[in-house]
Amino acid sequence: MPFVLQHKNTSQVYTCMLVNHYRLEYYGVKFWEDEDEAEQDRVPFLQEKGVPDPESWRVAEMEEGQMKISNVKLKNDPAYILHWKENERPIATKI
């Protein structure tokens, strides 16, 4: 099951430009397959991306189906942000 970064106060899920296994760029949910790896990479990854206060983000487990739906809702458009609360559907909003 994928592990994502979620803001502790706003429930925003971290999204960015990524590269898929076909080497194509797309805008989507950043995820890890392993929880320990996600925990270990969380702060350095967010610092590398220039995110202020990386400690305000936590690692959250998201079902693969929800993550795929989230990527569809993002429409490959960085103008969208994603919010998700457990037991609810992800919501993408244009900023």
State residue 87's pLDDT score.
84
Report which residue type is found at 16.
C
State residue 8's pLDDT score.
98
8 Å CB contact between 49 and 57: no
At 11-28, the pLDDT tens digits run 999 999 999 999 999 999
Q: How far apart are the first and last CA of the chain?
A: 29
8 Å CB contact between 83 and 93: yes
At 29-57, the pLDDT tens digits run 999 999 999 999 999 999 999 999 999 99
For the entire predicted model, the pTM comes to: 0.94
The DSSP symbol for 5 reads E
Question: Which pair of tokens denotes residue 95?
Answer: 């900023």
* pLDDT at 65 > cutoff 90: yes
